[in-house]
Amino acid sequence: MVKDRMVELLQEHFELNLYEARAYVALVGFGVLTPAELASVSEVPAPRTYDVLRSLEKKGFAISQPGKVNKYRPVHPQNILEKFIEEWQERVKEELEEKKKAKEELLELMTPLIETEIPKYGVERVWVVRGIRNATLKTKEMFEEVKEQVLLADDGYIAINLESEIIKAIDNGVKAKIIVTKPVLQRINTSKIMDYYKAKKLELKVMDAIELPMLICDDEVFFALEDMAARYFNYETQIWIKDFRIKALFENKFKEYWKKAKKA
């Protein structure tokens, strides 16, 4: 229903609760209402009408007319909704500046920790990373820190979504070999990765299927455990390992793929 949609929009985007949104829609529809009248024409419970109307007035959505029985009329939607957006924009700007300042202060305070190797990785060289967001953050970090070599066997995520990070690493002098499946190749056909391949700035091959997708950045290895259900819900379990011996094992597997793969 149209009324329900209006109530939904007021709740989702203009910070009114359910009863406030219902009351405002009723005021717009009827023009002027007393608390008792509001209860009779809307789904606002009678014991709540006084509080709800006062709250609407406080938020700028209604104006009251004092008398033996208070009457309320709505502020025109065009005026109050525009005013709300203007105030919201200012509030967001202020919050954004506060967050930026907080970020700078946190980075300054955390710099000693970041530059200390033990707090950064601890004595552990194996970590479990779950979820697409955490996996993205971790792989971005790997591309930012890689110095010499990137080996990527990708069946659907990294080459498509982290193109700029790969390109930046190559621009910084990192050598890259990439193997992708045919569907991924189609997705990156017009990307900078393909431009760099044509310009011989990276090596690129294609395979029908990759049994063990992996990312190797220097001595760091990142791969996913096979779990189709978890992949479907974007909660796949990824493993990150920093160990030259493990890296050697995965590098050998990558070399097997590279021999079987065909030129893009």
Give the pLDDT mean for 95-121. 78
Residue 57 lies in a domain: yes
CATH of the domain at 16: 1.10.10.10
131 and 181 share one domain: yes
Whole-prediction pTM: 0.56
Q: Which domain holds residue 197?
A: 117-263
Whether 131 and 246 map to the same domain: the answer is yes
CA distance linking residue 263 with residue 127, whole number of Å: 34
Write the pLDDT tens digit of every residue in 242-257.
988 899 999 999 999 9
| Residues contacting residue 232 through CB under 8 Å, at least 6 positions apart | none
245 and 144 in one domain?
A: yes
Residues 255 and 164 in one domain: yes
Structural domain count, the chain: 2
- DSSP helix, strand, coil percent of the chain (3-state; round to 5): 55, 20, 25
Q: Which pLDDT tens digit goes with each residue over 130-179? A: 877 888 888 999 999 999 999 999 987 788 888 999 999 999 999 999 99
Q: Both 130 and 257 in a single domain?
A: yes
Residue 64 lies in a domain: yes
The residue out of 16, 49, 79 marking a domain boundary is 79
Q: What is the pLDDT of residue 132?
A: 77
Say yes or no to pLDDT of 232 above 70. no
Claim to verify: residue 250 and residue 170 sit in the same structural domain: yes
Residue 112 lies in a domain: no
The fraction of the chain above a pLDDT of 90, given in percent, is 66
Over the chain, what is the mean pLDDT? 88
Residue 87 lies in a domain: no
